[in-house]
A = this chain, B = another copy of it.
Amino acid sequence: MSPQYPAPVALAADAARRLTALRAQRPLVQAITNYVSMDVAANALLAIGASPAMIHAPEEAEDFGAIANALVVNIGTLSTDWVVGMEAAARVAAKNGRPWVLDPVGVGATRFRDETTRRLLALKPTIVRGNASEIMACARIAGLHDEAAAPKGVDSAHGTEAARASAVALARRQNCIVAATGAVDLVTDGERTVEIANGSPLMAKVTALGCALSAIAAAFAAGAPDAFMATVAAIGVYGVAGEKAAETALRPGSFRVAFIDALDSVSASDVATRLRAR
């Protein structure tokens, strides 16, 4: 824990404030995300209080990038023509000084994903969010080590603790925020590392909740000078909502419904009292 690291109580209070600010600001989040996650990501953004726009065409990158407050790029259902739109949007976000989040779904599983991730990392995402396997694969792609990280599909084969060194090295190399999420989430800027221990195991039983979290991270980063604290807040609020949902729903179908409800109902006070970050 580095000296400038905020105390747990301060982290929770900060996250609570950021949730209130997000709802007041209602940021417009451009999402270039996979087909599976579009529905739940858009509904998650609406429920938390942001405004989603699923716009991926390169023809629109310039115009829409001028009005969007943040961008998320997710490579879940990849194809060559979409990569063109992803790169165009990322360039515009960088040019306009808007934060953008990379979600490298399934990187490590195919060379096409590795190559696409390499190209997108070169465009300097503000935040990289993935599971442990994906973060380890990103570090490998960034030339940081030879750690073999071959995820089984899009699920993580590793706990996040196994990705800690990769996450820190990647954050330093890329000068960005890296979040490895799982049962315990790690967020690092290469100097500070926060662990967040909220959430529910049911979140892994619903498709695309990781993808939707990346979109929520973009919403929190919109207009925030400190992307590190914004990422901590996004993951913390998301986990608290997951816990609230798990209080009433025990199976994945009803959990998904309850989770969207919880993103709508979760209060700053819930976050301040429940966030377990250190």
**Residues on A close to B: CB < 8 A?**
28, 34-36, 38-40, 42-43, 46-47, 51-57, 59-60, 63-64, 67-68, 76-81, 85, 106, 109-113, 150, 152-155, 205-208, 251-254, 256-262, 264-265
Contacts and interface: CB of A to CB of B under 8 A. Distances in A.
A202 B42 CA distance: 15
A45 B102 CA distance: 26
A119 B251 CA distance: 40
A43 B206 CA distance: 6
A157 to B, nearest CB: 11
A85 B82 CA distance: 15
Contact of A207 (B43, B80, B112, B208): B43
Contact of A57 (B43, B79, B252, B257): B79
Give this chain's copy count.
3
B42 A36 contact: yes
A205 B80 contact: no
B28 A152 contact: yes
Contacts of A260: 251-253, 256
B67 A54 contact: no
B64 A207 contact: no
A81 B58 CA distance: 12
A112 B155 contact: no
B112 A60 contact: yes
B60 A77 contact: no
Interface hub of A59, A208, A259 (most chain B Cβ within 10 A): A59
A42 to B, nearest CB: 4
A241 B267 CA distance: 29
B51 A77 contact: no
B46 A206 contact: yes
A54 B252 CA distance: 19
Given A67-B152, A205-B264, A260-B253, A78 B51 contact: no
